[in-house]
């Protein structure tokens, strides 16, 4: 007898498809102790995000800012494949795997205020699927087009289920003008499978500018009309936790003020990566980890 396993989250086929989310948003049992209050956890489940005014203090921000400066000015880091440069200005746009490149950012990942929240949401031990700094320097850094992270992580990295959470921590003030993160509240409840096969080495292009895995204008119009769009602002040290399937993106930064954030993506150790669901080969491990050692 043969059994056919159908992918609950199909993507990169001939047409765009919309399917209801099959997974919980909060995986921890109700009442599991942790840094997030019951009401905040309920809001996260409903909206797909949780914004905090101060996850880390101003003094701590100064340390992480300095480390970010060190990384983006180090010629060795710039030459590393983990650094992505802006196509036009050639300034550093992202540095991946900062928790491995830098002891300072490794400490941030292990910080109980950070990893404790991830464990509480995902209801298990967690490991880092991806970490990066997104520098967004002033005077023209380009934005990130609308996407669901899970769509890519499922299709290209092989994460089976929606049991993954990101935190974006502001290391510079995020104004309403310098390319802050935008999320469609409630969009995490619908999976939008994108049309179009994944080209080989898609990540090389998509990290500078997203193409495959991009929702249609029609789908984005429908979702934005239904859910609205929320922009996240906040001083350095503020943070946004968001579910892996939120429809999100950010605009260009044409102001003189950099919008530099550190992103950490935690995945449950019970949801480790398998073969990609819709790509020829997995992306490099500095983008999608294959070392599932829990954060301790």
Ligand X SMILES: O=C(O)CCC(=O)C(=O)O
Q: How far is the CB of 134 from ligand X (least distance, A)?
A: 4
Indicate the residue among 32 and 175 with the shorter CB distance to ligand X.
175
Indicate the residue among 148 and 271 with the shorter CB distance to Fe ion.
148
Indicate the residue among 34 and 94 with the shorter CB distance to ligand X.
94
Indicate the residue among 9 and 144 with the shorter CB distance to ligand X.
144
Indicate the residue among 23 and 149 with the shorter CB distance to ligand X.
149
Rounded Cα gap, residues 178 and 172, in angstroms: 10
Rounded Cα gap, residues 136 and 207, in angstroms: 13
Q: Please tell me whether residue 117 binds ligand X under the rule CB under 6 A.
A: no
Indicate the residue among 144 and 241 with the shorter CB distance to ligand X.
144
**Per-residue binding letters, 225-264, with ligand X (x by CB under 6 A):** -----------------------x-x----------x-x-
Footprint of Fe ion on this chain (CB under 5 A)? 149
Pairing of β 164-170 and β 261-268:
antiparallel
Sheet of 126-134, strand order: 49-52, 239-243, 164-170, 261-268, 126-134, 92-96, 83-85
- The correct pick among 60, 67, 97, 149 for binding ligand X (CB under 6 A) is 149
Indicate the residue among 9 and 150 with the shorter CB distance to ligand X.
150
Q: How far is the CB of 254 from ligand X (least distance, A)?
A: 14
User: Of 94, 37, 263, 105, nearest to 170 (Cα)?
Assistant: 263
Report 169-188 residues binding ligand X (CB under 6 A): 181
User: Of 106, 116, 234, nearest to 170 (Cα)?
Assistant: 234
The C-alpha torsion from 131 through 135 and 141 to 143, rounded to 10°, is 30
**Per-residue binding letters, 51-80, with ligand X (x by CB under 6 A):** ------------------------------
Q: How far is the CB of 240 from ligand X (least distance, A)?
A: 10
DSSP of 78-134: HHSTTEEE-TTT--EEEEE-HHHH-HHHHHHHH-HHHHHHHHHHHTS-EEEEEEEEE
- The correct pick among 134, 190, 202, 206 for binding ligand X (CB under 6 A) is 134
User: Of 22, 286, 60, 275, nearest to 170 (Cα)?
Assistant: 60
Residues 6+ away with beta carbon under 8 Å from 106: 99, 100
Residue nearest to ligand X (CB): 250
Q: How far is the CB of 175 from Fe ion (least distance, A)?
A: 20
The C-alpha torsion from 21 through 23 and 26 to 28, rounded to 10°, is 180
Structural tokens at position 91? 């300034």
Q: How far is the CB of 195 from Fe ion (least distance, A)?
A: 19
Q: How far is the CB of 144 from ligand X (least distance, A)?
A: 4
Place of tokens 């990130």: 144
Q: How far is the CB of 181 from Fe ion (least distance, A)?
A: 8
Which residues make up the interface to ligand X (CB under 6 A)? Answer: 134, 144, 149, 181, 248, 250, 261, 263
């Amino acid at each position: 007898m043969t059994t056919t396993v159908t992918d609950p989250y199909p993507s990169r086929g001939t047409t765009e498809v919309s399917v209801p989310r099959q997974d919980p948003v909060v995986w921890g049992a109700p009442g599991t102790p942790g840094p997030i209050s019951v009401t905040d956890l309920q809001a996260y489940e409903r909206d797909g995000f949780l914004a905090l005014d101060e996850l880390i203090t101003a003094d701590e921000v100064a340390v992480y800012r300095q480390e970010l400066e060190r990384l983006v000015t180090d010629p060795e880091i710039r030459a590393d494949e983990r650094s992505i440069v802006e196509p036009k200005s050639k300034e550093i746009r992202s540095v991946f795997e900062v928790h491995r490149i830098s002891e300072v950012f490794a400490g941030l990942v292990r910080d109980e205020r950070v990893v404790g929240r991830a464990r509480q949401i995902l209801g298990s031990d967690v490991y880092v699927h991806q970490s990066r700094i997104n520098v967004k320097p002033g005077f023209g850094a380009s934005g990130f087009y609308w996407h669901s992270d899970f769509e890519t992580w499922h299709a290209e990295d092989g994460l089976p289920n929606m049991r993954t959470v990101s935190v974006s921590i502001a290391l510079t003030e995020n104004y309403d003008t310098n390319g802050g993160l935008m999320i469609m509240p409630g969009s995490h409840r619908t999976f939008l499978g994108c049309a179009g096969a994944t080209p080989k080495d898609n990540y090389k292009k998509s990290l500078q500018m997203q193409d495959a895995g991009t929702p249609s204008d029609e789908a984005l119009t429908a979702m934005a009309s239904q859910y609205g769009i929320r922009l996240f602002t906040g001083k350095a040290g503020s943070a946004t936790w968001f579910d892996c399937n939120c429809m999100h993106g950010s605009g260009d930064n044409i102001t003189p003020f950099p919008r530099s954030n550190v992103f950490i993506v935690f995945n449950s150790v019970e949801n480790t990566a398998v073969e990609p669901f819709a790509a020829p080969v997995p992306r490099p491990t500095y983008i999608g980890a294959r070392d599932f050692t829990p954060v301790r």
